[in-house]
């Protein structure tokens, strides 16, 4: 039986061994995602004073942000999850961050995540609560696709729903347990930013990376506990979830 204290303790032990590569993985994920967002914002602002052309229209559209999220940011998150699952077992390579981009895996992972996020968004249109519930039901989908990139998205959604039955509130409490750290980080960033305004960006980046690594390692531990639950309740078998062997 898992507990928040056990998950966080295991996460800290993992990070104590792998903190250099773990922070590098988090930093790369943040830089790539934020860098692309900044690039499109920059080109959009720069093209505002020019005559309308294809690039200015395309770069300024919300569609671009959606496409970047679907085809780049979401697969990167899957790779990040895979890295932290591998790191639980030993020294995981930095290249695991890009595991979702492997030939033969990328299309299935991208489609599965897109359709899962689309379903959550459609439920959110009904009312906020149904969307939140669906978000918790499908929380494990990225982890399942990280472990088995060839898993059909319907199966990933079904398995996530089955495993998360009775666990949604527990996951909410686990997430909320980070609120104190998030609040403390925000206060620390505000204070240091006021005192060292020129360093506000690197300070924010470093604190954000540290907190993100801690949370990601903890959620990897949560998935490991849910994986054991799936086997114990015959919801899945080792042939379907074969474990995380470092690339």
**pLDDT digit string (tens) for 113-122?**
999 999 999 9
d(CA 90, CA 83): 10
Residue 172: how many other CB atoms lie within 10 Å: 12
191 near 184, Cβ under 8 Å?
Answer: no
Distances (CA, A) of 185 to 34, 151, 207, 208: 19, 37, 7, 8
pTM of the predicted model, to two decimals?
Answer: 0.88
**pLDDT digit string (tens) for 182-211?**
999 889 888 877 777 667 778 788 888 999
């Amino acid at each position: 039986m898992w507990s928040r204290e056990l998950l966080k303790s295991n996460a800290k032990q993992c990070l104590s061994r792998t903190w250099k590569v773990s922070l590098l993985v988090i930093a790369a994920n943040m830089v790539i995602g934020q860098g692309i967002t900044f690039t499109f914002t920059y080109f959009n602002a720069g093209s505002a004073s020019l005559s309308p052309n294809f690039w200015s229209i395309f770069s300024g559209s919300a569609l671009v942000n959606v496409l970047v999220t679907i085809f780049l940011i979401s697969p990167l998150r899957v790779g990040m999850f895979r890295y932290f699952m591998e790191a639980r077992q030993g020294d995981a390579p930095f290249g695991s961050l890009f595991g979702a981009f492997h030939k033969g895996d990328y299309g299935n992972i991208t489609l599965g995540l897109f359709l899962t996020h689309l379903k959550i968004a459609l439920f959110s249109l009904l009312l906020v609560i149904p969307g939140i519930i669906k978000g918790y039901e499908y929380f494990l989908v990225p982890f399942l696709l990280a472990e088995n990139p060839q898993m059909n998205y319907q199966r990933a959604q079904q398995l996530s729903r089955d495993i998360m039955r009775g666990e949604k509130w527990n996951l909410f409490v686990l997430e909320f347990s980070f609120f104190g750290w998030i609040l403390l980080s925000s206060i620390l960033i505000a204070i240091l930013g006021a005192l060292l305004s020129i360093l506000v960006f690197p300070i924010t980046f470093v604190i954000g990376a540290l907190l993100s690594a801690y949370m990601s390692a903890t959620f990897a531990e949560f998935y490991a506990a849910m994986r054991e639950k799936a086997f114990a309740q015959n919801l899945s078998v080792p042939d379907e979830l074969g474990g995380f062997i470092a690339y």
